[in-house]
Amino acid sequence: MSKTSKTRKHAEKMKDKRARKAARRREYESYRDSKDNSKRRRRQKATKSHTKMRAHSHPNGNCGNIGCRLCNPYNLVF
């Protein structure tokens, strides 16, 4: 391949790449503006249910984790 054809091919690839990135940026901005980011909501729901499940901490008692070495001394998982 000649240098001009390589340069032209590279320019076309970069143009396509910039277009893809701009499209993704617009998509993410639309999510942000519409407050329809389902991943964030899913994370918040998971955190809330997780904190409710583990009501105890180690100073107060069992944390509820079956893999915890402090709560289950016979657990040999490292």
CA 22 – CA 28 distance, rounded (Å): 10
Model confidence at 36, pLDDT cuts 50, 70, 90, reads: low
CA-wise closest residue to 44 among 52, 54, 56: 52
Question: What is the predicted pLDDT for the residue at 19?
Answer: 97
Give Cα separations from 58 to 37, 41, 47, 62, 78 (angstroms).
35, 29, 19, 6, 19
- Over residues 43-69, the pLDDT tens digits come to 776 666 655 555 556 667 777 777 777
**C-beta separation of 54 from 71 below 8 A:** no
Question: What is the predicted pLDDT for the residue at 53?
Answer: 53
Mean pLDDT of all residues belonging to the chain: 78
Rounded to the nearest angstrom, the gap between the alpha carbon of residue 39 and the centroid of all alpha carbons in its chain is 8
Tell if the pTM clears 0.85, that is, is over it.
no
Question: What is the predicted pLDDT for the residue at 38?
Answer: 65
Which residue is listed with tokens 């503006």?
33
